[in-house]
Amino acid sequence: MSQRERDRMVVVQQVVGGELKVNEGARRLGLSTRHMRRVVRRHERGGDESLIHGLRGRPSNRRLDGELRAAALAKAREELYGDFGPTLLSEHLARDGHVVQPATLRRWMIAEGLWTVKARGARHRRRRERRAAVGEMVLIDTSLHDWLEGRGEEEMVLIALIDDASSRLLCRFFPRDTGAANRKLLVEYLERYGRMGAVYADRAGHFRVNFRRRERQEKDEQEALTLIRRALGALDIELIIALSPQAKGRVERLFGTLQDRLIKEMRVAGICSMAEANRFLEETFIPFWQGRFTVEPAEPVDAHRPLPEGADLMRIFAENDQRVIGSDFSFRYKNRFYQIEEAEAHPKMPKSRVTLEHRLDGTLRFRWQDRYLLPTSLPGPPAKLKRSKTKAAPRKLSGAAGKPPPADHPWRRFPIRVGRGRSTSPASRATLPSPGAGGTEEQAKS
């Protein structure tokens, strides 16, 4: 007999013995007066044993069939489902027509040694409340994992965007975690839902420039911007950098769920390539996620903002290079020469810069100021202009009409002596012969 049953026995004996009235005993036991009379009559017929529950020691009438338990445990022992948890395994059993609640299946698996309860650390952390409305903040991160479990030769990573208020998911597989891959997913999100209020990311090089960061801070220089930060700034979207994995715990927990569920679902579906995996995400898994794991936000409004009028996301998120336009309206890029045609030429183009946009769709666009150009690719360097060789005009001598100076010109009377015989004294000048004193013109020039 349990302690609760012993306490009830004391009250019932007091009512039978006349020490308490029926309604007072019912009040103490939390029963109705009618049911209290029923308990007293049962005690008068069967004694104290009547207070013990009649199903004690007997199997429950709501117990599941033994064949269902055997089928569930047999499925849990299969190699394909060997690492499935109780919740995911119960969903797959329901697909086969065997309905078992996860809590029941968890007890069965623990009893058979197929499931071990994980001990969690007791470190204290303060929980961050969700944002109130959809679109206020979106978390982005990448998971490097063996998603295909060695079934395919392709290496791929999963990049995911999850809404903080509702846990709405958008994710794609890419060959590598590059800036272009992150930009492609952001562009897809912006085209589908609009501009979010903020993007919460880690300190990867796609979002924050880490090179010479401390040196720039010591010199009080302006922080260098990544392409994603510059593009988000142009769209008036805040970029928040997390300083620890726990700060963006929602997306970290997301990958914990995906590395458990998504891997096993793709295993059951027999997916062996990245194209099949992305198709499975779009057609099957993400719709399942939206209906199973999303929550209702605190506010029903949508905080997404429409894109600015005329905004070109391919241009905003493109990787840019610049080249100088020559005087012949040509420029060079990767050892190739491009010629701007006369119809698109502008007098201000020479010595200015043309911008080369490497867009996410793989195209290359040429832009000068706000105009897009269609330059012609040249097979080689442009031909150089040959300058005409003209003889320089003879230098004219001083004097009237370019005639030689006369014999009595000061240049002839007082020549400049160079070398050791140079002297500026009147005596030295007096010894010099003059053309009029019998000297020759060559002596005067010397």
Q: What is the pLDDT of residues 386-396, one digit of tens each?
A: 666 666 666 65
Percentage of the chain exceeding pLDDT 70: 85
Let me know: does 317 contact 231? Beta carbons within 8 Å. Answer: yes
Q: 258-266: list long-range contacts, CB under 8 Å, 24+ apart.
A: 258/143, 258/158, 258/160, 258/171, 259/143, 259/145, 260/85, 260/88, 261/88, 262/147, 262/158, 263/145, 263/147, 263/149, 264/81, 264/83, 264/84, 264/88, 266/147, 266/148
pLDDT digits (tens, 9 = 90+) for 350-383: 999 999 999 998 899 999 998 999 999 988 777 6
Q: Answer whether residue 233 is part of any domain.
A: yes
Based on the domain organization, do 358 and 229 belong to the same domain? no
Among the listed residues 64, 86, 65, the one whose alpha carbon sits nearest the alpha carbon of residue 76: 86
Kindly report the pTM of this predicted structure: 0.66
Q: Answer whether residue 444 is part of any domain.
A: no
Q: How far is CA 89 from CA 65, 81, 119, 258, in A?
A: 18, 8, 21, 15
pLDDT digits (tens, 9 = 90+) for 208-227: 887 776 776 666 766 678 89
Q: Domain span at residue 345?
A: 318-378
- Taken as a whole, the chain contains a residue count of 446
* Range of weakest confidence among 94-98, 168-172, 290-294, 409-413: 409-413
Quote the pLDDT of residue 441.
46
Based on the domain organization, do 276 and 183 belong to the same domain? yes
Q: Answer whether residue 27 is part of any domain.
A: yes
Which tokens hold the place of 364?
Answer: 């290359």
Q: How far apart are CA 274 and CA 266, in angstroms?
A: 11
Q: How far apart are CA 365 and CA 338, in angstroms?
A: 12
Q: Report the amino acid identity of residue 59.
A: P
Q: Report the amino acid identity of residue 421.
A: G
Q: Answer whether residue 310 is part of any domain.
A: no
Based on the domain organization, do 75 and 166 belong to the same domain? no
Order of strands across the sheet that contains 371-373 = 319-324, 353-358, 364-368, 371-373
Helix (H, G, I), strand (E, B) or coil at 171: strand
Q: How far apart are CA 404 and CA 421, in angstroms?
A: 27
Q: Report the amino acid identity of residue 337.
A: F
Based on the domain organization, do 224 and 333 belong to the same domain? no
What CATH code is carried by the domain that includes residue 244? 3.30.420.10
pLDDT digits (tens, 9 = 90+) for 102-113: 999 999 999 999
Q: Answer whether residue 312 is part of any domain.
A: no
Q: How far apart are CA 108 and CA 86, in angstroms?
A: 9
Q: Answer whether residue 415 is part of any domain.
A: no
| List of residues 6+ apart from 306 with CB closer than 8 A | 194, 195
Based on the domain organization, do 244 and 365 belong to the same domain? no
Based on the domain organization, do 340 and 220 belong to the same domain? no
Based on the domain organization, do 41 and 104 belong to the same domain? no
Percentage of the chain exceeding pLDDT 90: 50
Quote the pLDDT of residue 364.
92
Other C-beta atoms within 10 Å of 45: how many?
Answer: 7
Number of domains in the chain: 4
pLDDT digits (tens, 9 = 90+) for 60-88: 778 888 889 899 999 999 989 988 999 99
